[in-house]
Amino acid sequence: MRLLYVMDPMCAWCYGFEPELEEFLKKNSSIEVDWIMGGLAVDTNYPMDEKLKQTISSYWYEIEKKTHLTFNHDFWKLNTPYRSTYPACRAIISAESLKTRSAHQMVKAIQSAYYLEAKNPSLEETLVACASSIGLDENQFLEVFKSEETEEQFQQHLRLTYQLQARAFPALFYIDDKNQAHPLTLGYTQAANLEQRFNNIKGK
């Protein structure tokens, strides 16, 4: 049995979902999870406009109320935000290539840097620091991060996201013995709802 988790490390709702996912996985520890990078926002060097900054920053307050997690709102004062999450997605794929089953570690490192330490994961230097924090060699990470192989893997992730019709993140799918994908959630939900949905699918 396995799960496909379609997400983006710079998706604030995915950050909010993290404790719920971890609670669910603790109860279902035998299930393997494949981390699929859905890619929220393409590469760009253009700073985010004020309207978009206000929109995204408002989500952080909404998620705080819903999940009781905290965000470091100083991010918006200390950084020049870019609407560019593809680099962070490539960073997850790169980490997994260098160290099997490290995708989750890297996701948590990026989320911590972004939402708690007010660092900018659209920047290469932040991603390198995150890789180092989970024990990866910085030079090796950069080489893999910039490689054609990583880009091709990322494109495969994007194609799979499209095939699954995962239009909202976080999106979690259970893959049954016939290789059929069953959505456990398409968007934020709590661990109890995941468990109920999972048991319903298994019981069919």
Place of tokens 């404790």: 19
CB atoms within 10 A of CB 10: 25
Q: Of 9, 67, 12, 1, which is closest to residue 35 (Cα–Cα)?
A: 9
pLDDT digits (tens, 9 = 90+) for 47-64: 999 999 999 999 999 999
In the chain, the percentage of residues whose pLDDT exceeds 70 is 100
- Sequence-distant (6+) residues with CB within 8 A of 178 are none
pLDDT digits (tens, 9 = 90+) for 169-188: 999 999 998 999 999 999 99
pLDDT digits (tens, 9 = 90+) for 153-168: 999 999 999 999 998 9
Global pTM exceeds 0.85: yes
| pLDDT on residue 202 | 83
Is 194 in contact with 172 (CB distance < 8 Å)?
Answer: yes
Record: fold of 2-202 = Glutaredoxin (3.40.30)
- Sequence-distant (6+) residues with CB within 8 A of 10 are 40, 41, 85, 88, 110, 114, 121, 122
- DSSP-derived 3-state class of residue 34: strand
CA distance 34 to 159: 15
| pLDDT on residue 68 | 86
Tell me the angle at which helices 50-67 and 12-27 cross, rounded to the nearest 10 degrees: 30
CA distance 197 to 13: 20
Specify which residues 3 forms β-bridges with.
33, 174
Q: Tell me the domain boundaries of the chain.
A: 2-202
Is 107 in contact with 90 (CB distance < 8 Å)?
Answer: no
